[in-house]
Structure 1
Amino acid sequence: MKINCLSCGHNLDLDEDTYSDYEGQVKCYACNALLEINLKEGRIKSVNISKQKSYATAEA
C-alpha cells in the first residue's frame, strides 16, 4: 500500500498485511513528519499530519 506524505510528497510503502486494519501514526523517513492514518480492510479512510508537538533541543 502506498501513501504520499502530506508534508513533502515522499511515497511511503506500507506492508499490506501489517497495515490492512490500522489506526495510528507512521513516520515519513524523508522529512520526519508524523502522519495520522486510518486504514480499514486495506483501504485508506483518512491521512492527516499529526498535531503532536515537536520539541527542539538547545545546544550549548
Structure 2
Amino acid sequence: MSAQGFIDEKADPSDGRKNFITLSNKGYDVSNQLVEQYADVTSAINNIAKQTTHNL
C-alpha cells in the first residue's frame, strides 16, 4: 500500500522498532470512494433481499 501511495509511514523517533502508519491524501480519497460504493452495494443487496420469497 505504501508503494502505491495509499499510506504514509514514519519511524518512531524514540523507538526505531515502531512505525507510524497513516492514510495519505490518496488513501483518504480512495477510502471515501469505498464508503460510497459500500453504501450502494448494501442498498442493492437490501433491495434484492426484499424481493425474495424465502425467509433468509
Range of TM-score over shorter length: under 0.3
Higher strand share: 1
Instruction: Output the TM-score relative to the length of structure 1.
Output: 0.25
TM-score by length of 2: 0.26
